[in-house]
Structure 1
Amino acid sequence: MSKASTADGHDELQRGAGGALGAEEAVRAWRRAADSAVLLDGFHALKHALRFGADVPVALAVDKAAARALADDLAPDVAGELAARLVEVPGDVLRALVPRLHPTGVAALAGRPARADNLAAIGRTGRTTPVIVLDEPRNLGNAGAVIRLAAGYGAAGVATTGSLDPWHPIVVRGGAGLHFATAVERLTVAELPDGPLYALDPEGADIRGLTLPDDALLAFGSERSGLSDALRARADHLVSLPMRPQVSSYNLATSVGMTLFHWSAHSTHAP
């Protein structure tokens, strides 16, 4: 995936780049760029963003030595890059810059991937892994968990419809920075890419009798209201997950995980 970011913020981030920054310079760079950049909240979000090629010019830590020890232990593949970028700042300073300080005492800013690159990844002809479609999702944490699942299964991308911003800081926190391991964009139903659309619905055919194609769009409605009328009209197939009678629904991320596992069990392209 390209490292290109949105126009706003990228230049600001670049002006503040470099592991040799002093604490005051790093904080100034953060404040210039924070409104338009992606917040990486915690060591694991930063680790994944670096691992999957994100632009991360500003990275702060309350205890740089502790963060480096975590990297040596859990992410030696990016330990050198992380050490070069981290700038140590006092805890009260970092707390003032983020909504809630992560227990690891680490936070960073990244440039958001270009929308055109994400759309190309989601819509490319001959996809060999599915696109996950979240139809008007409501819960930010659940959306993040789905993006984490999609990255783990190597999905081509995650598209959301409706008003929820899939790059909201709470979504990025829930996804542990794995937005950069797949393509994540908000689209209208009319903008969804080509491909057979399988929508999860209690009245659909039992998924256990189906093979989901590699280029499928796998669509999931909100837990409260299910599929929107527009998405249902666009669907080629309605599919149901096995569920005990009188149980109302599964958590959204659970439904996505079950569906991706079923796809992976029949695909030669699954990780």
Structure 2
Amino acid sequence: MNNLNDEIIYGKNPVLELLKSGKPVNKILLLADGANVRNQEILSLLQKRNIPYQFVDRQALDRLAQRERHQGMLAYVAAREYAEVEDILALAEKRQEAPFILVLDEIEDPHNLGALLRTVDAVGAHGVIIPKRRSVSLTGTVAKTSAGAVEHVLVARVSNLVQTIKELKKKGCWVSGAEAGGSDAFTADLTGPRVIVIGSEGKGISRLLRENCDELVSLPMRGKVTSLNASVAGSLMLYEVFRQRAYAR
């Protein structure tokens, strides 16, 4: 769900020019019964740039646009440009470090993503990978919550997380999924080329992604609560990797 405080572009011509400009876009909403020649041009650009889009009814567009004339479409502008997975790996190579990557499986709360970007920057991880659908994107709220980290952390947005981690494994990365019931993260070996997977706030790591992890690790807990907030769990996992890598030098 996008926050109403995030930047939104309304109208056919402004949206078309935005897409032609190559600027980062999170998502496009189109009127379900508004197909015409101009919409076909926009759909072609969306498919070419692989930008998520959704058809919605007029009431939804009216509500989101408030008093603005939306002409049957609006665009959510990304807070910054997305990177490619190859850019994240290239950064690790440039620093002469083993890859250290955070994968987020359908995190929907922008505050969680913003907080995790802040931690990723703090521990010197090389980047974050998120899915294009069913996940919060780089919104204004994420940027604000990250306290500026969004400008320094590479974030790649991919169509298929399972395929992406398979490719990372081929490149020598070891994939550790944070999941209740896994081995103790504080005694597991988290050094070397490392991908940490954090699941969604409500469902955890999806089945296919979990099955493709090399291992499952969990944070030891002694209290009555059985789970941690996604950004807290992710931050603790990132710092444990950071701690082990520092002592392994």
TM norm structure 2: 0.59
Compare the two structures and name the one with the higher strand fraction. 2
**Cross-structure match for 2:105:** 135
> Between the two proteins, what is the percent identity of the paired residues?
27
Distance 2:78 2:197 in 1: 29
**Cα offset, 1:265, TM superposition:** 1.6
- Select 2:130's aligned residue among 142, 156, 160: 160
2:203 counterpart letter in structure 1: S
- Secondary structure at the aligned position of 1:209 is classed as coil
Is the counterpart of residue 221 in structure 1 residue 199 in structure 2? yes
1:166 counterpart letter in structure 2: S
- Select 1:123's aligned residue among 82, 85, 89: 89
Say whether the 8 Å CA contact 1:122–1:156 is kept in structure 2: yes
State how many pairs are aligned.
Answer: 171
Say whether the 8 Å CA contact 1:129–1:216 is kept in structure 2: yes
- Please identify runs of 4+ aligned residues in structure 1 that moved more than 3 A: 35-38, 109-115, 123-127
**Cα offset, 1:129, TM superposition:** 4.6
Q: What 5-or-longer segments of structure 1 have no aligned partner?
A: 1-31, 39-108
TM norm structure 1: 0.55
1:120 counterpart letter in structure 2: E
Query: Deviation string for 1:174-209 (max 9, x for gaps)?
Result: 112312212102222212333110001111001121
Distance 2:191 2:105 in 1: 20
**Cross-structure match for 1:171:** 142
Say whether the 8 Å CA contact 1:135–1:221 is kept in structure 2: yes
**Cross-structure match for 2:9:** none
**Cross-structure match for 1:247:** 225
2:215 counterpart letter in structure 1: H
Distance 1:167 1:217 in 2: 21
- Secondary structure at the aligned position of 2:246 is classed as coil
Q: What 5-or-longer segments of structure 2 have no aligned partner?
A: 1-16, 26-76
Say whether the 8 Å CA contact 1:154–1:182 is kept in structure 2: no
Distance 1:114 1:133, change over 3 A: closer
- Select 1:204's aligned residue among 178, 182, 189: 182
- Secondary structure at the aligned position of 1:179 is classed as helix
